[in-house]
Amino acid sequence: MFDYGGGMAWVCWWRVTLTWQSGQYSPTGVPEQVLDVTRAAQLRRVVLGTRRDPRIRDYRYWLHREWDDPDPPRHCPRGHELTAGRARARPCLCGVGHFVTDCFCGAGGHRPPLGPGCGELPFDPEAGRHHW
């Protein structure tokens, strides 16, 4: 969790999917097992253990990140109510990311505020993805 004061924070976790050679080896009894991991050290242990276990055929993991704010912005700086789709999380070059509000009037804001090293991530339109 990355806390920015006032209770607002990014909550991060990884969803790991293990594919076992057979359901008989899996603790759940089915060939695919899904785990949610909340710390990088836990993810490391799962990945290293998976690599050593010959009964596991494949594994994948994805980072999930959610903005947790007990008092999310409901209005733009000019006082307009923010409608659906006008507030969202956005990745940033700083590596932390921001919660961004964009109002129809053109006013917007970033939580946490932009600082040195912040900016749009490079995007490759031909590949249809970011540089990573």
User: Per-residue pLDDT for 1 more than 50?
Assistant: no
Label residue 46 by pLDDT band (50, 70, 90). Answer: very high
pLDDT tens for 16-27 read: 999 999 999 988
Phi-psi region of 115 (alpha: psi -120 to 50; beta: other; left: phi over 0): beta
Q: Tokens in use for 12?
A: 């991060």
Task: Determine the average pLDDT of the residues in 2-27.
Answer: 80
For residue 112, whether the previous peptide bond is cis, meaning omega lies within 30 degrees of 0, is yes
Phi, psi (deg, nearest 5) at residue 86: -95, 0
Q: Tokens in use for 25?
A: 């080896």
pLDDT tens for 82-107 read: 887 788 777 788 777 788 888 888 88
Local structure of 47: helix, strand or coil: helix
Local structure of 49: helix, strand or coil: helix
By DSSP bridging, strand 56-68 and strand 32-37 are unpaired
End-to-end Cα distance, the chain: 22
| pTM given for the model | 0.59
